Structure formats: C-alpha cells, structure tokens
Structure 1
Amino acid sequence: MEMRRWLLRPLALLTTTTALLLNTSTSTSSSISTAHDLPTLLSFKSLITKDPLGALSSWTINSSSNGSTHGFCSWTGVKCSRTHPGHVMALRLQGIGLSGTISPFLGNLSRLRVLDLSNNKLEGQIPPSLGNCFALRRLNLSVNSLSGAIPPAMGNLSKLVVLAIGSNNISGTIPPSFADLATVTVFSIASNYVHGQIPPWLGNLTALKDLNVEDNMMSGHVPPALSKLTNLRFLFLGTNNLQGKNELQATESRDWDFLTSLANCSSLSTVDLQLNNLSGILPNSISNLSQKLETLQVGGNQIAGHIPTGIGRYYKLTVLEFADNLFTGTIPSDIGKLSNLRNLFLFQNRYHGEIPLSLGNMSQLNKLILSNNNLEGSIPATFGNLTELISLDLSSNLLSGQIPEEVMSISSLALFLNLSNNLLDGPITPHVGQLVNLAIMDLSSNKLSSAIPNTLGSCIELQFLYLQGNLLHGQIPKEFMALRGLEELDLSNNNLSGPVPEFLESFQLLKNLNLSFNQLSGPVPDTGIFSNASIVSLTSNGMLCGGPVFYHFPACPYLAPDKLARHKLIHILVFTVVGAFILLGVCIATCCYINKSRGDARQGQENIPEMFQRISYTELHSATDSFSVENLIGRGSFGSVYKGTFGSGANLITAAVKVLDVQRQGATRSFMSECNALKRIRHRKLVKVITVCDSLDHSGSQFKALVLEFIPNGSLDKWLHPSTEGEFQTPSLMQRLNIALDVAEALEYLHHHIDPPIVHCDVKPSNILLDDNMVAHLGDFGLAKIIRAEESSQSLTGQSSSVGIKGTIGYLAPEYGMGTEISVEGDVYSYGVLLLEMLTGRRPTDPFFNESTNLPNYIEMACPGNLLETMDVNIRCNQEPKATLELFAAPVSKLGLACCRGPARQRIRMSDVVRELGAIKRLIMASQNFASWSTAQ
C-alpha cells in the first residue's frame, strides 16, 4: 500500500499544481477551474516519454485557451461533449508512435465514450481505473507493448460495444467479470499470452459479432456454448493449445465421434478436414452424412481403412478428395454413381486392385488423379466416355497393358495427361493425334515400344512432352516440326535412331531438349538452341558428330553418296541385330519385374516402382570410393551428399550422390517427394536428376540415393557467409543480382509453367548451388509439394512429403505456423527473405535480430533514408559508386518486402519478380555503361 501511495504521489502533485496554475490565471479562471478533465489530460501527457510526430505539442494551457472556456477541447485527438461542456467524450491518438505508460487518471473521464490508443508503443499495465469510465463504448488499446493481466474492473463497462486489446504482451486469464458485458459486439484479445480455457459464459454474450482469441495460450476444448452466438460473423481460435480445434486429432475410434454427430446436420454441404492429424480407421458413419453433401475432403492426414461402399449415395457430390493418406483396399465400384462429380483425387495412398470400369460413368468429371498407388491391371477403355475431362493422372502405379485408344481420343484433355512410371507396353496409338488441346503429356518410364506416331505432331498445343525411359525406336518424326510451342522435350533413354532434326534449331520457346541415351547418328546442328549447352543434352549417342565444341563429338567425316548409303545400311543391320538382343533381354527382365512388383505390392511395401532403379548400390559404392570422407560434400536434413565419379577416360562423369538416412523419420517420404518433383521438372536453373537408386546395401539394409548434376562451386550460403576468412570471395553486386534472377526464374517455372505447380517449401541459400559461371541452380526438393494452383486456397490436390510445418526457421512463411496449407505464396515469402539476406549479408536468424524485429522489419524501418547502411559491408567495400548502390538497394529492398507481405494473397507473384529484377539489372547495366563511356570521354 505504501508503494502504491509513493507511485501515485507525483501524479497527485501534478494535479494539485495544475489546479493552482488555473486558479491563479488572469483569464476566465473561475470557468476553467470547473473543467476537471483538463488535469487528467495533462497527467496523461506527463507519462508520455516520446512523441515522435509532435502530436501532443498542442497540449499546452497557454495555446489552448485563447479566451475560450474549454480550450483543451481543440487539442489533437480530443473531442468534448456538446451536452456536457468541459468533459472529454473521445480521445483518439492511434498510430502516432507514442511511448510511455497510460495514466491511471484516465478513469476520471466520466463522460468518455471512445478511447483509442492503438498502434503506439505504450508499455505498462492497463489501468484498472478505466473500469470507472462507465460511459465507455469503444476501447481500443491494440498493437502496443502493454503487459500484465486484464483488469477485472473492466467488467463494469456495461455499455461497452468494442473491446480490442490484441497484439500486446497481456497475460493472465479472461476475467469472469466480463460475463456482464452484454452489449459487446467485438471482443479481441488476439496475439497475447492469455491462458486458461475459453469461458463457456462467452456464449451468453449474444450480441457478439466478432470473437478473436487466436494466437494466445488458451487450452482445453472449445465450449459448446459458443453455438448460442447466433449473430457471430467472425470466429478466430487458431494458434492456441486447444484440443480438437487447431489440429484435429483422431487416434481411437471414439475420436471420430464428431464425424458421427454431423449426421444430424441435414443441410450440410461441405466437409473439409484436410491437413490435420487425423489417423486410425475412417468410420463407416461417413456414409451417413447429409445427401446434400457437395464437397468431401479429408486429404493430407494419416487416415487408414477403406473408402466406404456407401459413398455412392451422395449424388450431389462434386468434389471427392481422399488424397495423401494411408487408405488401402480397392476403389469401390459404386463410386461410379457420382454422376455430378467434377474432381476425384485419390492419389498418394495404398489402393490396389484394378481401376473400376464404373469410373467411366462419371460423365461430368473434370479432373481424375489416382497417382502414387499400387493399382494394377489395364487402364479402362470406359475412360473414353469422360468427355469433360481436362486432367488425367494415373502415374506411379503398376498399370500394365496397352494405352487404350479411347483414352488417347479424349479431345477435352487440356491440362495434362500423366501415365508415367507404370508398366504400360505396346505402341503409342495413332489416336494420340486427337489430343489437340493438351498442354502436358508424360508417358515416361514405361515399356512403350514401336515408333513414335507421326500423328503426335497434330498436338500443336503441347508445351511439355516426356517420352523418356521407354523402348521406342525409329526416327524422331518430322511432323514434330509443327510443335513450336514446346518448352520441354525429353526423348532420352530409348532406342531412337536417325539424325538429330535440324528443325529443332528454330524452336525459340524450347528450354530443355534431352535426346541422350539413344542411338542417334549423323551431324549435330550448331545454331539456334544447339548453341546453348544448358538447354540441350545429347550424351551417350555414340554416332553423333560435329556440332559446337562443348559437346565433344568428333568431326564429321566426308563420305561420297554411294559410300554414305552403304554406311547407313551397315548401321541399320547392326542396330537391328543389337536391338533384337536388347529387346529380348528387356522382355525377360520385364516379366521378372512384373512378378516381383505384384508380389511386393501385395506385401504392402512402400518402395518406389522398380522402373526407377537405373543404378546399383555397387556402382555408387565404387563411384564414391566407398562413400569416403574425402568425397563428402555436405550433410542435409535427411542424409549426406558425396562426390561421385562414373565411367572412365573420355566418358568420365562427375555427379553428386545424395544418400538418404533411411532410419531418420520422414527420410523415405522425402525421397518419394523429391523423386515425384524431380521427374517432372526440366529447367536450366534447377539441379538436374540423373538417376536414382532404391536398393539394398552390402549388408542387406535398405538404401536410397539420388544421383544429381554436380554443381562445382558449392552453395550460396558458403559464399554469403564463409566460415573462414578467404575461403570464398563474397559475390559482387551484379553477381548477387544475377543469382537472385536465376532463383526467381526457377521458382517462376515451378509455380507458373508446369501443371500441377510445385511448391519448393525450403528456399534458402544452402539449397542454391553455383556453377563455374556463378549461375545459380535451385535444388533439394525433399520437402516439395505438388499442388493445383487455382484450388490451393480450398482443397488439397497434391502430394505432401510430410505432415506439419515445412521449411526452415527464418525463411518460413508466417502463415505456416498457424496451420495454413502449403502454397506458392509461402515460397514467395522465403524468396523475399533470401533477397533481403543477399542485400544485407545477414541471416534471418542473426542474433542481431530480437523478438521484436526480424529481417523484413529491419529493412522496412530503414526505408528509404538508411538503406545503404543496411547493405552488406562486402558490397560497399567493392568500390561500387554510391549511385549504383542506390540503384540496387532501393528497388531490391522494395521487391523483397513485396515478397514478405503479411497477408499471403498480397504478395507479389514470381513472374512479376522476374520482370522487376530484369528491369533492375538493365537499369544498373545502363548506368555502368554510361559511367564507363563518360570516363572514356
């Protein structure tokens, strides 16, 4: 009590002194002395330690009077009552940077209706005396640094309509006295440290329209009484320790009772349980929901069991999504009764058996994704009835037989057709020419034989064509000349012969052409795309000659026409004989594989299909010198990377071998995720996958590895933050700009130029590798996720490599910590942090930053006047002109902040980032050229 008197004594003295000053004033002294709200305002000002905008400069007695009885009513932020002169009705001082504490004498403002001190830097506790402001309607103290508990006396504010005290450091529990706030419509205590349970009496505050308690330390269950809030429009309970809400969990059968209770919701149209921690067996009660159900989504969990056979009763269903779970059994045939279904996503599970013929009855189907299962048998010819289908993905299964011509005749297919990584055989039907609207076709890693049909040249909308890893022979059709929209063409690992088509020289959009591991012969073109080593791959075609020197092919010999004809005839005979032996061997191996794969599938193994196995453990063991320490390049989250040397003599190849620690939790899923991502991507700024190994080591233990393109200059992290002085020379300004542009182009490709898009999920300097020319290559797709971009805000339609938060602290998008699903915007945020790290030379986890700030905030506070001081000292020491530094710092920081905006939907797109960086680069180069010209003059 003595301490309290001691603390309040200066304020009492201030009030007394103010009264004495007023009583001795020569101007309207008697009138002003009755204005008892004036001393309260002066006491408030006395506790403000910083006023950066000078908002309270008008709060002086002399300047306010001017002959008026109540001059303080014209002070900044002060509004007085008309019916009660001399009494403050509203005090609004929001967003002006005030520091200090809140005066307890504000409780004397008996007529105060509005108090808004939000968005300042006020500290200390909320004064309990505010509970005496019985006329208060709106109280907003949010976004400050207030601490302590919520005063129970505030429960006396019976007329309160808005209570907003979020984004502070407030602790304690919600006072029971708040149960009397019957008129409150907005109740926000978000982003504090409030703990305890959500009080059931909140359900009695039936006037509530906005209830926000997210980002606190609340525990327990969500009280059922909240269902009485019939006027509620917004309810935010996320980022707490609540049970059964933030991340729904189910391990035992009783945990699924919530689903059973939904059977009483007769008008239920949407059930979305994606990306939670649901596990165990899906109960049959899911077949008892409302027949008005239109959307059913349970993807991204660990749910096991079968799809209930009663699923066919939901005749209004348009979206059915059970993807990325542990479902087993067969796909029930009654699923074909869902005649209104638009999207069916069952990928990344353990379904086996044949694809039901009844799926062909769903005539409204737009997207059918059944990839990454153990489905067997042939592709149903009934799929030809799906005349509305725009996307079909049956990849990574055990499907066999020929591709039905009915499937190759679905002219509505426009986004993608993916049948890769199966056991499909036979020729590609000429009916493929009917897919005139298709953008992406992937038939890779099968056993397709015969020649590539000429009719494929009719698919003029193709942008990506993948036929690698088959048994195709014959020449590349000249009809491919019409496919000028191609961006990627991969025909590698086949038995193709004949010349490299010269017409490919003029394919201006082509970014990746892979014709390696074939039997091509003759001269290599030396102009157009063939003059760019990063675009074209022609390795292991033993009879090619000529071309640019970097291909290292021998010069083409001159042959007379008659000798040339005999030469070709000999080649044909040799190829025929050799091809026959190869075909025989492949057929034998295929038969053995089919028997083994089906046996493995029945045993429920989760290994990737055998057709991925292109290299043995023994070969990798030899190439890395028994995985010696001398060849160890680095260690990652799921294993180690070694330098490997393959071949001998002129065919010597250096590669990076990423060996997974299969004992580490999540490593196998990371391997699958990286395989699924890398097999689809072809871009010169992405680390290329050469082959994979899924085998056993010499001790009989499971062994998984990826063989990747070797990038000699190491990671960007080592260049930006060398561990020892002189180890690496930090990149120059232009090198950093070029690296930033390289990574942006890689992400633009992943987000906007393949379908489905891929989210990298771990963009950071250690995952960016630099080649001899300091060109950046984005790698490590162990966390990558494949999504449908246009539906990412509503449904999971891709594959997740892990459950929970993906990424690295510091680069992780803030919304991921609140349970938001993976999105391309998350990559954009990580890229923005990377960009600012390259600008400042500071890691986002630098001890320089504390709990109150981070790298984006640091740059934002420095804008615009102090940006040069934030730049990496290594850039400033490179003798760059100040004008060049400014041309770099200002737009790059602005771009980085545009990537790091809080609301994900407000972040810039990667395609726009590429365009902006290109403009920045051109501007800097122009200034440098001008400076050079001026010096020369």
Structure 2
Amino acid sequence: MLSILTYILLVTPSSLSTSYSDFLALLSIKSHITSDPRQALSSWDGALNDTNTPVPDFCQWNGVTCGGRRYPGHVTAINLQGYGLSGIISQDIGNLTYLHFLDLSSNNLVGDIPSTLGNCRKLYTMNLSANHFSSSIPSPLGHLSKLKIFDVGYNNLTGEIPTILLNITTLTILRIEWNSFSGQIHSWLSNLTSLTDLFLASNNFSGNIPAALFNFSSMDVLNLGFNQLAGSLPPDIGFKLPRLSVLGTEVNKFRGVIPASLSNASQLTYLVLRENQYHGVIPRDIGSHSKLNLFSVGYNKLQATKPTEWDFLTSLSNCSKLEILDLEGNKFAGFLPISIANLSLELNWLTLGRNQIAGTPSWIIRFHKLTQLILADNLFTGTLPEDIGRLSSLQYLDLSQNRFEGQIPQSLGNITQLTSLSLSNNFLDSSIPTSLGNLTQIEILDLSGNMLRGQIPQEILTISSLTKLLNLSTNSLSGTIPTQIGHLNSLGTIDLSLNKLAGEIPQAIENCVQLLSLYLQGNLLQGQIPRGLNSLGVLEKLDLSSNNLTGPIPEFLGSIITLNYLNLSFNNLSGPVPDTGVFCNSTILSVTGNSMLCGGPQFLHLPTCPSIRSHKASRNRLHIFIFCAIGTLIFCLCSIALYCFINRMITPNFVGREYLFLNRNHERVSYAELHEATKSFSPANLIGSGSSGKVYIGNLILDKNLATVAIKVLNLEQQGAKRSFLAECNVLKRIRHRKLVKVITVCSGMDPNGDEFKALVLEYICNGNLDEWLHPNTMTDGMISRRLSLMRRLHIALDVAEALDYLHYHIDPPIVHCDIKPSNILLDDNFAAHVTDFGLAKIMQSEACKKNHPEIEGSSFAVNGTIGYVPPEYGSGSDVSMAGDIYSYGVLLLEMFTGRRPTDSFNDGAENLVSYVKEAYPNNLLEILDVTATYSRDIDIQNIIDILIYPIFRLALACCHDSPKQRMKMHKVVEELNAIKRHAVQMF
C-alpha cells in the first residue's frame, strides 16, 4: 500500500504549499505509529480528498508547535516525550525543514534513526533517548551544523561515533550512554569546543582517554563509566575543568592516584570512581568545597593505614548534603577516626565493606536516613547497638564477617523496611530473636557462621516475603525443624546445615515449591527421606549428608530433572540405589558412608542387591538361624568374658584396645611380617624419624596383593608413646577423607626379645613431606632442584584447610589435630597434600561421653604440640580447641610463603614469624616472599601481589590473631582460599 504522502504527491499539483507539506509529513509520522496507548496522536487528523480543502490547523495538535510570526504555518517543535508510542519514525520527518526542537524520548520506538533528519538544518535539540533504536548513527546527521543537544542514550545503537558528527562545533550536550558503541575516543573530540555535558557511559569504548578531553574549561558533566577505558586522570584536572559538577569513571581500567586538584573543582557534586585501579591515598581536601552529594571510590586499591591518611573524612564532614559514601573493597585499615560521626545526617548509603577497618561502630545510629549500610568483611568488634532499630529506613544491612559478639538486638525487628539482612560469620550468641518475624519485606536473611543456640523461631518461618535466602547454617541451633517451614512457599534457598537439629525432616517441606537449594547436612536428623521432596519440581541442589537418616533412597529423586547436586553421604541409608537421573552422574552424586546400600550405577562400586528369590530363601532360613544363634550365644559370651579376663591380667588396660578403634578391613599384621617387609628394619628403608618413632617403607601382602606401605614404628621409651598410639588409633578409625593419610592396619605385640612392639601401617605417600620441600637440604642429592611454585603452594594450603575443615565440622564429635606443621603434611605424586600424625590429636567429646568412657578421653589427651606452631593461649593453660589448629595453620601459611621457619631468628626486632610478617604487611610483602617460590615472569608482579600474595598473607594473619575468638573459622578459610584460587587461575 502506498504511503499517505506518496498518494497525495500523485494526485495533487506540484505547487503544494510548504505548510501543506508539513501537514502531510505529520500524517505520515502518525501512520507509522503502531501503538498509541495514551491517545497522544488522537488530534492528528485532517481531510486529504481535495486540494481546495483548507489545511487543518495542525499547529494546535498535541505535541506540535509552529513558528509563529517568523515561520508561520511551519512546524518548529515536536515534543512527544513519554507517551509510550510504538512503531518507527517515518523518513518523511525530514520534510519538516523548519524543525528546531525534536523530543521523542521515553517511548518504544524501534528501527533506524531516519537519515532524512539530516535535512532539518535548523535543529538545535534532538532527543531520541530511552527507545529501542538500533543500527548506527546515520552520517547525514553530521550536517546539522546548529545542533546543540544530541541525545540518543539508552538505545541499542552500535558502531563507532561518526567522525562527521564531531564536526558540529555548536554541540553543548552529547549523550550516547547505554548503547553498544565501540572503538576509541579519538582526539577529534577537541573540535567540540562548546561541549559542557558529555555522556559516554555504558558502551564498549576502549583505549586511553585523549588528553584533549580534559581541555574543555566549560565542561560540567563528564561521564565515562562502564566502558573499557584506561589511562589516568591528569594531575591538574581540577584546574582545567573548574566548573565540573559530575565526574564518573566507574567500572573501567583507570590507574594512578586521585588528583588532589579535584578539590579545586568547587562545583563538584558527584564523584564516582568505583571499580578501577586507583591507588594511593584519598586527597585530604576532597570535600573542602562542601558540595559533594555522592562520593564513590569502592573497589580500587586505595589505602589509609595512618591516622593522617584518614583526613579526607574530616573534609567530607563539611559536605552537608552528602548522601552516598562508598569506600568498600579497598585497603583501608586501622580504627576509623571519630570524625566519621560528623558526616552529614542526610547520609543514606554507607558502604565500608571488604577492608580491614577496626573499632566499635556505635556511631551508625546517628544516621537515621540510612537505607543501605555495608560494613561486611572488616575487623569491627563489640556488640551490636541495642537501639539499632532506630534506623527505620534501612533496606539493606550487611554486617557479616566481622567480630561482633553478644546477642542479636530485639530492636532489629523494628526495621520493617529491610529487604536484606546479613549478620553471618561473627561471634553472635544466644537465641535468634522472635522479633525478626516482624521483617515482613525481608527477602534475604543470613545469620550463618555464628554461635547461635536454641530453637529456630517459628516466627521467621512465616515471613512470606522471604524469597531468596534463609541461611542459619554453622551455628548451634537445636530442637526440630518447625513444620512452619512449609509457609516459605516462594523461597529459593534454605540452609540449616551444621547445627544440632534433630527429629525428622518435616513433611511440610513439600509446600516449598520454589525451592532451588536445600542444605540440611551436618545435623542429627533421623527418620526417612520424606516423600514430600517429590513436590519440589525445580530443586537443583540437595544435601542431607552427615545425619542419622535411615531407610531407602527414594526413587523419585532420580526423576527431579533439575537436580544437579545430591549428597546423601554418611547416613544409615539402606537398600538399592536408583540408577536414573542424578544417580547416573558420579560428579554430582555422593552416597559414601552408607554401609547398607547396594546396587546402583557401577561407578559406586556397591555390592549387588539380593534378588527377591534370595529374600524368600533368607526368610525360610531365618528360623533355623535363630535357634542356632541362641545355642551358640551363651558359649560366645562366656568365651569373650574369659578372653577379657586373661587379657587384662597379662597386659595393662590400654593394650589391645585398638581393636575397638580400627575397622578391620585387614587383619592385624605380625612383627615378623613387618620385619620382612622392611628388610629387618634396614636403614635403607628408613624414610623418616622423630621423637615419637621411625617410619619405614615396606612391601606387604594385603588381601593377596603386594602393596607399598609406610610403617610407623613407635618409640615406646618416649613418655606418653602408648597413649599417643591409642589416640592415633582412636582418631584414624573415625576419619575418611582424601586429604588425610589412611591407616591400613596395626601391629601390637612383642618383638623376638620379648619387648613390647607397636606400629601403624599407613598408605605410602611418595613425594615426602612439605618441610623437605620448603627447606631443602642442599647437601643431599637432588634437593637443590626442589622448587614449589606459588600456585602449587596455594593448592597445598587449600588441601590442608579442607582436611582441617573436615576434622572440625564434618565429623561428630569433632577432632583437633594439635600438631599442624610442614613435616606432618605429605605430598603425593600430584603434589596433593595429605595430613598425617594424629598422635597428639584430641577428640572433642561431649560431657556424657567423658563420664561413660573416661579411658578414651584420657587416650586422646593433647600435649602442647611443636614450638613455633603452638597458639599463645596453650602456654597459659587454656584447653585444646579448634582455634588452636587455626593458629597453627596460620603459621604454616606464613612459613609456606616466606620460606622462614617460626623458630628462625628475625631482624628488625621481630619476635617471631607472625610479628615479622605483620611489620611487612601490607606494603612490603614482596620483600618477605620466599625467593624459591616460582611464577611466570610474563605476569605483572603487581597483579600477583594483588590477586595472590596480599590475600594469602591477610588470611594467614587473620588465623594468627592472639585472641582465639577473633581467628577466622576453618570453613571460612576454605571459602577464602577457593576465591583466591579462582582469581589466581584466571591470572596464571
């Protein structure tokens, strides 16, 4: 169909008036609009049947303005902003040759920007922003020599900025942000000498910023954020751009320092430099002109370690209209100055997270207008303010990963606007306040990693707004899981793991139909896996491991097609394992530690399930078996009693008690077998020795196969050796982890001279211990070439952390190793680390267990450990604790990355390895790094420091804190190391 304009040109004389041409152009524009929800163009109408028909007064149409006396009957302005119009812009718009002003912004227009707009030579404002235009900017627009405002932001435009456009020297405002423009910002920007506002944010521009960009003395707004731009801000930017009110470089690759001359820009209101690589200190007078409303420098490399380097806060306190202060993700350290309490009471965003800031933030309650407060991942201490509930405007509160202690204030329930609350990884105790049930808009509630106790309040399980996360893991919560959990029918993730929850998994869980992840591992849950889980049709992750669940594995779990992680390990499940769905993928399934399972896919290596016929035969034989069993029971009991009596008379009480502690996968070996396996305990077979005994390599026949093993022969003349042997047996029989050295069997008896003999047979780890690699003996052949790369050290550190995390949190009761040091870490042929030597380990028994089995508690009694690795509190008589292992692990990390033993002598007055590193931290870490630690020389050393070295030393020092309560927990250490590893892998 011919367009209206084409039709008229065919049927009317060629002598159409120019005003009639404007009329036809407007009708053509309307005809290309496919949707007009607000009837904005309802007045755009007129007759087209006869040239003698008077032209309607289109100057009265909505959004249309004509030129009055100067341009009578001609359209000079069209303003249809924000009417929700859909369709395309007709090319006939180019016939409005008297058009001065065009605003079609905030609609739903699509297609290309009409190239005919280049005919509108009188245009001085063109605003097409916030639509869906695509393709590139047509080059004919470069002919608009009078254009002052050009705004095409928030569209889908691509390509590079046409060079001809940048010849429009009259341009004062150029806005092309939020498109997909690419290329570099060339120096021809210097032609735009009248420019006052330049918006280039959120595109794909790259390369360095041309110096000419900073020569426009009239510049008011310069927004370059969200690109891939590099370079640095000129030192004299504040003098070159004295009228600057907005400067944005966020999410780019800018380097260098923040210029002190910015304090000369007296109109500066918005300064946004977030997520770059700026370093150094913040200029002390940055807020001296008191106009700043937004100051954002988060996620750079800025620092403040001395009191004078915090002076910028004093100048910011002059800014009475400051609403947003963002300092997170830098290297700020030490105590905040009291001047922070003098900041503007208009403050509504305050983000200080991911630094090393210390102190007690009681000042936060001054800022009643705060809507977002982030103090996460710092060193803040003390209790949470009781009247924190006065911050009634808060919507986002994150105080996680600090050292807050005491109770969660009841007044938190008064902040009813909260949508996200995280108090995780602190030292909060007592019970969860029921007042949190008042948070009727909360979407994320994370209280994990504390010392909370008591039952889960029913009130928080009835908050219908909880849609993203409920995380109460890693606490000491007890009782049963309330059935009210079924009210959380829109929640995505529930994590109640690593608590002391008992009872059955409530059937009401079936109502949580939007659940994506359910973590209940590490509790005391009983009963069967509920059939209600069958209703969770979008479930992706399910972890029920390390509980006391019984019964069969439900087949319906294999029919949940979205399930991509299933962990049912370490329960008492029985019967066949399904072989459909998630059960067919070994990388996302774990059912280990359930001894009564059978069948399933071959990769599980489970025994074949008995057939139905064999079950019937078994039932028929059951009666016969019962009668036979009764007949022999009395004889067995008498035999056992007689054996125990004789054994007690011959040996001390503890001899032979290893029967109780070791799974009998292999029969105990004799002295003669070990004598032969080690070639008469030949020095040639000796691979290690210490005060507790010697370790030999040997070849033993185990299960009819010849195996290479390590044989640890105890020195029974050493005080406490028998107790150590019993402790190690007691520990090793309970642990099953790939990063712990596996015990195979034991030998306990007499040697040919009649002397008592005890030995442990362990798996052989071929690459020696970590101490040999960190401190090679250059006099020994081959040792001089031993080097461990930085990445290899990182992997070893992660292996040891995972082993300790398992001992501390994934077995019940937990185990404290008590002697973490390099010589107790063995490396296999892939340089994976395996923790060994549990002779000093302590099983953290419950009080009931201590009363019923005092001999076991005594056998696991821990001595002080090894000098240099022993935490300071042990020296004052404190009880053994998991925090002691964490301290030893921190010293191990420092030794691994400095190459210095904790017993070395240190210069500069450092008393020990910890204080030696503290003096170098954070600015001189390269000076103390082990010179034998290898890395690729192609990588920028600053990147290595930032991504690997600095985080490792920061983590190690957090483990070596003098106060046990303030040391980082081992599961958090594993999380941090995994994060470091992810970033380091990308770099290396």
| Fold match (TM-score > 0.5) | no
Normalising by structure 2, report the TM-score.
0.43
Q: Which has the larger radius of gyration?
A: 2
Q: Which has the higher contact order (CA 8 A, sep 6+)?
A: 1
